[in-house]
């Protein structure tokens, strides 16, 4: 079946602009995660959604970052007033449930802030 999809694959923006990144999880997966991968920083957790529960936002680096998940499926990560340090690859993953279930990753969105 189809895997996790993300769009756009690449996004170049100017400092101070807002961006929206989209994630379509694997059908039937109830848990959805956003991670960020930066050079020298490795993969770091941003936010996690599980069903209708309140999201775990503990990894968001600042209040410029927010995410929502509509209808328990598609998720959008929004970065407001982008800064150069926001440049990174943003990865989305989904899993059947939130316990120790395997997370499957999408191809990522490469964000470049000029």
Could you tell me if 67 and 91 are in contact, meaning their C-beta atoms sit under 8 angstroms apart? no
Any contact of residue 105 with other proteins (CB under 8 A)? Answer: yes
Any contact of residue 68 with other proteins (CB under 8 A)? Answer: no
Beta bridge partners of 48: 33, 56
Shortest CB 93 distance to other proteins, Å: 8
Beta-sheet pairing, 88-95 with 109-113: antiparallel
Any contact of residue 25 with other proteins (CB under 8 A)? Answer: no
Shortest CB 9 distance to other proteins, Å: 9
Scanning the structure block, which residue is given the tokens 């999880």?
A: 25
Q: What is the DSSP letter of 59?
A: T
User: What's the helix, strand, coil split of the chain in %, to 5?
Assistant: 5, 50, 50
Any contact of residue 44 with other proteins (CB under 8 A)? Answer: yes
Any contact of residue 104 with other proteins (CB under 8 A)? Answer: yes
Residues near other proteins (CB under 8 A) are 4, 31, 33, 35, 42-45, 48, 50, 56, 58-59, 91, 93, 98-100, 102-108
């Amino acid at each position: 079946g189809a895997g996790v999809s993300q769009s756009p694959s690449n996004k170049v923006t100017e400092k101070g602009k807002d961006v929206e990144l989209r994630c379509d999880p694997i059908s039937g997966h109830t848990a959805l995660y956003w991670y960020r991968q930066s050079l020298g920083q490795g993969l770091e957790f941003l936010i996690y959604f599980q069903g209708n529960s309140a999201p775990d936002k503990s990894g968001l680096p600042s209040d410029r970052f927010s995410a929502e998940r509509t209808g328990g499926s598609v998720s959008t990560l929004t970065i407001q007033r982008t800064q150069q340090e926001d440049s990174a690859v943003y990865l989305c993953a989904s899993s059947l449930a939130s316990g120790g279930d395997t997370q499957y990753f999408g191809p990522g969105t490469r964000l470049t802030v000029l």
